[in-house]
Structure formats: C-alpha cells, structure tokens
Amino acid sequence: MSSIRPDELDDRLGSSGDEPFLLDIRPTSAYESGALDRSHNIPVYDELRGGDASALRARFGEIPSDRDVVVVCKMGMVAKRATSILREEGYDASTLLGGMSGWRGYQNNSLGYKIRSLVWRLR
C-alpha cells in the first residue's frame, strides 16, 4: 500500500508541478471543522467504513487521473481502503499516514507525532 508521511506531503505542497490532489473523504462536518488547504471533500468515509465502495466509484469523475492523489481521513485507516480502490482503477494514489490526526501532530510538532514518525521511518 502506498502512503506518504505528513512531512513528505508538506514538502510537496506548493511545489510547482508536483503538488498532489488532496482528497479528503471525511464527512462534510469534519471537513468543515478543519482540513488541509486546497483539499477537496468527497464525503464517502461512512460508506467505505461499511464496506461499500460504490459512493467513491460514483465520484471518480471529480478526481483527476493525471495527478498524484493523496487520500485523507481522520486517522488514515479508511483512507487506505479508498487508496486501494483508486489504485485498482489506475490512479497514482497514496494514503496520508495518520490522517488529519497525523497532520495536526506534525503541524504542532507533538511528541506523539515524533514517535509515530520514527516508527513510520523504521518500517
């Protein structure tokens, strides 16, 4: 499974020609309460969590196929499912490790993030 650490994503954001399409799959209310800048909300989290991929498949037209896609959810678990589905359809997709929780930890330079980041790097 393809994934990207928050620090790696941060390096790519704002890079001309290399900026990925940020796909936030969380429910609209969660997205509206805090999201990555320039991310796009396609709220299919609940469906994917329940094992139904049809809601995501129905919205493929909103996801560019000519750019890398980084899928974001709360903690990264459901995003892994979305990433797998997108990759099966030919998208170059990856999951943001730790989801929004990981991103916030990275932004705040929290101890929890530092520990998780170390574990991710050792894998």
Domains annotated on the chain, with CATH: 3-122 (3.40.250.10)
Q: Where are the beta strands (DSSP E) in the chain?
A: 3-4, 21-24, 40-41, 69-72, 93-96
Residue 35 has pLDDT above 80, yes or no: yes
Count of C-beta atoms within a 10 Å radius of residue 73? 27
Q: Which of 20-24, 28-32, 45-49, 106-110 has the lowest mean pLDDT?
A: 106-110
pLDDT of residue 5: 93
Residue 66 has pLDDT above 80, yes or no: yes
Q: Give the pLDDT band of residue 73 (cuts 50, 70, 90).
A: very high
Give the Å distances, CA to CA, from 13 to 33, 47, 119: 21, 28, 23
Q: Give the pLDDT band of residue 112 (cuts 50, 70, 90).
A: confident
Q: Model pTM greater than 0.85?
A: yes
pLDDT of residue 84: 97
Instruction: Tell me the mean pLDDT in the region 6-35.
Output: 92
CB-CB contact of 101 with 108 (8 Å): no
